[in-house]
A and B are shown apart, each in its own frame.
Chain A
Amino acid sequence: MHLINPTRSRPGDHTAASRSRRTLRARRWAGWLFALPALAFYAVFNFRPILLSIQYSFYDWDGIGASTWAGLENYRAVFTDPEQLSSLLHAFYLILFFTVLPVTLALISASVMRQIQGKFTGTLARTMLFLPQIIPGAAAGVAWTWMYSDNGVVNQLLRAVGLESAARPWLGDFTWALTAVGFIGTWLSTGLCTMLLLAGIGKIDGSLYEAARIDGAGAIRQFRSVTLPGLRNEIGVCVTITVIAALASFDVVYLATQGGPGTQTMVPGVMVYNLAFNESRLGAASALAVVLALIVIAVIVPLQRLFRER
């Protein structure tokens, strides 16, 4: 505890001491004047809505008429309505593409690029790698809708290598649409993860590699015993950010597929939006949103533990 405390009291002077203690306490409370605006905005536009979502989730309400108590019915629907349940499963499937694939790719790139630290990770490459992070997710959705379209780049490449038969409008394909959406997520997060891991790998003491090499460790042993433990923190960061992006995805999916074809790419974010603003089922939408938030917490907290422990 360190305070701005100019009051100095002589020992033995009781009244002065208690007075100064009182002014001290008053002064500490006065510090709330600094925090009050933030508290007010947070309470009204963040905390209250969270509580209201929880409240709504127990009611049937169309936003206009009277609401009726529904108990746990909306929550039951989250896990029994095939469309809602599959949206949650899709979110977990997307983790493969938003998290596992980018982190793996970033680990490989970062360990290969370790050799050329600083020189070629220079301005141009850095700029390009970061671009997917800079543009709005919604715009990435438009870009990839075009990439995946009938005569887009993906099919162009397939035809160029003679895989004519594999070419298809990917986002409209019942089997492949969700995977195609997943690869948009891969594109979004790989650059950021690579840069993060590259920054982390630069901080690993070079003598550790030296020592491992003297011990006869090959490239793979070095990777497992030096690189991987040294990047624990950075990997944790990548995993956390991208898992949240996968579970709570909205922008990209909404613009690329709106959940279609059928409900093949329906994710919780788009489902909440549809339930609330197209079907006017505010209670059902809120229940799904609450479940989604709980899932995010349930996944993130253990991950944080896993990557933080030393």
Chain B
Amino acid sequence: MPTSTPVRTLRRRAPGLLLIAAASLYSIVPLLSMMSAALAPQGSFPSGLSWPSDPHWHNFIDAWNVANITTLLQSSTMIVLGVVPIAVLISTMAAYAIAILAIPLGRIFYTVLVLTLTLPYEIVIVPLYEQNKDMGLLGSQWALILPLIGLNMPFAVFWMRAHFVNVPRELSEAAGLDGAGPWQALRHIHLPLARPAIASLTLLMFLSTWNQFLLALVLIDDPTKRTMAGALQAFTTKYSTDQVLLNAGALLIMAPTIIVFLFLQRHFVKALLQGAVKG
């Protein structure tokens, strides 16, 4: 191999660089286009992608108010806080019981969970709606929180079990010899080790809960009590003719996940790649 000069390196790298630039651009063009429309004067008919000479940043404040963003943020936060901690906790405990404690019939439970892992939500929406009606949950956030905990179990248990089966056997045996019960062993030995797996699971679950659309649409009648994504539909029907407000509102609705993503970018990428491979 000849030593590569900078020019040669550049030439070798150019196709890759161009490609990655093109791919990145392709990923953000729709968002840039929304941004350019959102900044046009209200009531005008903006066109695809053109930076307005006089950006109307105030549109975002108007959209914030008409789209009820404050209420939606509260509602989404409440739903995420209702789902994620409980789902992470009970799925970790269940995976621990299956993988480490080797509970009787645990394999069967696990197999059933995995079998239903790939089933689309379409197959549960109708009965869930009826069930919520019978339980008197319709109209409150619980109508979404409780089902989402249950629906997250297959993936969450699958994920945490994949972690626990890789924990060296000696560790749990050592804990047993020290006279630690299963609770102490979980708390003092296994939970600290599981922290990275739990962190990734938490991120993935935050994302899927926050972005949940179909279930929010079906299970909560009142758009202001849905997730932000679920409320998009009500907002778009109301403002379908006002491109400016519509795009400003939709951007605001996307903003929270994007902001969280930018801050935790590295963790998200890791979690998404792992999540994909494990799923």
Known: A5-B176, A42-B150. 18 other contacts (CB 8 A): A3-B102, A3-B176, A34-B93, A34-B97, A45-B128, A49-B131, A113-B20, A125-B21, A126-B269, A135-B254, A136-B211, A137-B213, A139-B232, A139-B254, A157-B48, A247-B120, A272-B125, A276-B129
Identify which of residues 180-211 in chain B touch chain A, using a CB-to-CB cut-off of 8 Å.
180-182, 185-186, 207, 210-211
Q: Are A48 and B127 interface neighbours, CB within 8 A?
A: yes
- The CA of A162 and the CA of B107, in the complex, are separated in Å by 63
Q: Are A1 and B102 interface neighbours, CB within 8 A?
A: yes
Identify which of residues 239-282 in chain A touch chain B, using a CB-to-CB cut-off of 8 Å.
240-241, 244, 247-248, 250-251, 254-255, 268-269, 272-273, 276-277, 282
Q: Chain A 46-57 against B: per-residue CB contact (8 Å), 1 yes, 0 no?
A: 111110110010
Is B7 at the interface (CB under 8 A from chain A)? no
- The CA of A38 and the CA of B99, in the complex, are separated in Å by 14
Q: Are B124 and A153 interface neighbours, CB within 8 A?
A: no
Q: Are A35 and B98 interface neighbours, CB within 8 A?
A: yes
Q: Chain B 61-81 against A: per-residue CB contact (8 Å), 1 yes, 0 no?
A: 000000000000000000000
Is A99 at the interface (CB under 8 A from chain B)? no
Q: Are B218 and A45 interface neighbours, CB within 8 A?
A: no
Q: Chain B 235-267 against A: per-residue CB contact (8 Å), 1 yes, 0 no?
A: 010000001001100100110011001100100
Q: Which of A71-79, A171-179, A191-199, A220-228 contacts B (4 or more CB under 8 A)?
A: A191-199
Q: Are A45 and B147 interface neighbours, CB within 8 A?
A: yes
Q: How many A-B residue pairs have CB under 8 A?
A: 337
Q: Are A130 and B261 interface neighbours, CB within 8 A?
A: yes
Q: Chain B 34-56 against A: per-residue CB contact (8 Å), 1 yes, 0 no?
A: 10010000000111110000000
Q: Are B232 and A4 interface neighbours, CB within 8 A?
A: no
- The CA of A195 and the CA of B273, in the complex, are separated in Å by 8
Q: Chain A 197-235 against B: per-residue CB contact (8 Å), 1 yes, 0 no?
A: 001000000000000000000000000000000000110
Q: Are B218 and A277 interface neighbours, CB within 8 A?
A: yes
Known: A131-B31, A134-B257, A147-B30. A4 touches B96 (CB 8 A): no
Q: Are A130 and B268 interface neighbours, CB within 8 A?
A: yes
> Which of B16, B181, B272, B277 has the most chain A CB atoms inside 10 A of its CB?
B16
Q: Which residue of B lies closest to A276 (CB)?
A: B126
Q: Which residues of A contact B13 (CB under 8 A)?
A: 115-116, 120
Identify which of residues 21-39 in chain B touch chain A, using a CB-to-CB cut-off of 8 Å.
21, 23-31, 33-34, 37
Q: Are A196 and B273 interface neighbours, CB within 8 A?
A: yes
- The CA of A25 and the CA of B40, in the complex, are separated in Å by 71
In the complex, 5 of the A-B residue pairs with CB atoms within 8 angstroms, ordered by the A residue number, are A39-B94, A45-B128, A134-B258, A136-B253, A187-B26
Q: Secondary structure of the A side of the interface?
A: helix
Which of A45, A251, A254 contacts B149 (CB under 8 A)?
Answer: A45
Known: A4-B185, A46-B124, A297-B118. A38 touches B176 (CB 8 A): no
Is A290 at the interface (CB under 8 A from chain B)? yes
Known: A136-B254, A147-B33. A285 touches B169 (CB 8 A): no
Q: Are B127 and A34 interface neighbours, CB within 8 A?
A: no
- The CA of A1 and the CA of B106, in the complex, are separated in Å by 12
- The CA of A6 and the CA of B31, in the complex, are separated in Å by 60
Known: A3-B102, A282-B126. A38 touches B120 (CB 8 A): no
Q: Which residues of B contact A194 (CB under 8 A)?
A: 23
Q: Which residues of B contact A187 (CB under 8 A)?
A: 26-27, 30
Is B101 at the interface (CB under 8 A from chain A)? yes
Q: Are B28 and A128 interface neighbours, CB within 8 A?
A: yes
Q: Are B27 and A112 interface neighbours, CB within 8 A?
A: no
Report how many residues on chain A are interfacial, defined by Cβ distance under 8 Å.
109
Q: Which residues of A contact B (CB under 8 A)?
A: 1-6, 28-35, 37-39, 41-50, 52-53, 56, 63, 108-109, 112-116, 120-121, 123-140, 142-144, 146-147, 149, 151-157, 187, 190-192, 194-196, 199, 233-234, 237-238, 240-241, 244, 247-248, 250-251, 254-255, 268-269, 272-273, 276-277, 282, 285-286, 288-290, 292-293, 296-297, 300
Q: Are B45 and A31 interface neighbours, CB within 8 A?
A: no
Which of A50, A129, A144 contacts B24 (CB under 8 A)?
Answer: A129
In the complex, what's the smallest C-beta–C-beta distance from B163 to chain A, in angstroms? 15
In the complex, what's the smallest C-beta–C-beta distance from A164 to chain B, in angstroms? 14
Known: A139-B250, A147-B30. A50 touches B116 (CB 8 A): yes
Q: Which residues of A contact B229 (CB under 8 A)?
A: 136-139, 251
> Which of B33, B100, B106 has the most chain A CB atoms inside 10 A of its CB?
B33
Q: Which residues of B contact A120 (CB under 8 A)?
A: 13, 16-17, 20
